[in-house]
Amino acid sequence: MLGHPDPPPPAVSASPAPAAPMEPAQIFFGFRGRIARRTWWLYGVAAMLGLGLLLTALLRIAGLDPDAATGVVSLLLLWPSVAISVKRWHDRDKSAWWVLVGLIPVIGGLWLLIENGMLRGTPGPNRYGPDPLQAP
């Protein structure tokens, strides 16, 4: 009709869609995306500690000496530990190379604990993906 303009098209959001919850396989084995502190504490600390104790106990029961059992468990849990840590560094908007901070004697472990376990990630999306605390 004359005098009645068409309604404007809906606005397109410039921000990416919020992240869907990450599957455990992606948390343990993938290097992309971001995880929040809670996920880091649950998977990166509690789950890794529990798996480490369980696997060590099973290997000891199977007859492996303590040093060999510790070495095998460390090798088995290396990849998941690094994958979880990388995603936590991504949430802090830092490169995966920051994982290497853990190699610094004494200070490295404390630095990792403070950065990954106590400081909030970047609010909103960053170069590694959407904020894991925003609901999908």
Distance in angstroms (rounded) separating the CA atoms of residues 134 and 116: 18
pLDDT of residue 12: 44
Q: How confident is the model at residue 6 (pLDDT cuts 50, 70, 90)?
A: low
Round to whole Å and give the CA distance between 98 and 108. Answer: 10
Boundaries of every domain in the chain:
34-117
- pLDDT greater at residue 17 or residue 72: 72
Q: What is the pLDDT of residues 25-76, one digit of tens each?
A: 999 999 999 999 999 999 999 999 999 999 999 999 999 999 999 999 999 9
Alpha helices (H) in the chain, listed in sequence order: 24-29, 37-39, 48-61, 66-91, 107-117
pTM: 0.81
Sign of torsion, CA 65 71 75 76? positive
Place of tokens 């290997």: 59
